[in-house]
Amino acid sequence: MSDFPEDLKYSAEHEWVRTGSGSSVRVGVTHYAVEQLSDIIYVSLPTVGDELSAGDSCGELESTKSVSDIFSPVSGVVTAVNETLADAPQNLNTDPYGDGWLFEVELASAAALEDLLDVDAYAELTED
């Protein structure tokens, strides 16, 4: 059994995607990614209105150890960013699937979700 929410889709770069109503999705980074980085102290996010292609670097996470790119797991237009992370990047450390979400994207195509991993495939990817 994994420590990853089963209702999400995952990228090989350790981002998660939560689908909702309509064609907008919420994107974040997994608990596994947060653990690898350790304490996240700064977050750089895309801007509302940015057009992203799946795989594009669209931001950065800075920890006490290193800086890591955020990659968009889907193609589409950024419709919202989590403004609270500017003042409270620690939300990523404590609640990566809730308050630590990064941004929302209006999908260019619903088919984009088919390229993402399910929870079992992602859990397998993160096994040591």
Eight-state DSSP code of residue 47: P
Is 1 contained in some domain?
no
pLDDT at 24 exceeding the cut of 80: yes
Q: Which domain holds residue 81?
A: 9-125
pLDDT at 1: 37
Predicted confidence (pLDDT) per residue in 67-94, tens digit: 999 999 999 999 999 999 999 999 999 9
Is 107 contained in some domain?
yes
Residue 62: CATH number of its domain: 2.40.50.100
Is 2 contained in some domain?
no
Closest of 99, 104, 102 to residue 43, by C-alpha: 102
pTM of the model: 0.94
Is 118 contained in some domain?
yes
Phi, psi of 86 (to 5 degrees): -60, -40
Is 37 contained in some domain?
yes
Domains contained in the chain, number: 1
pLDDT, average across residues 21-32? 92
pLDDT at 128 exceeding the cut of 80: no
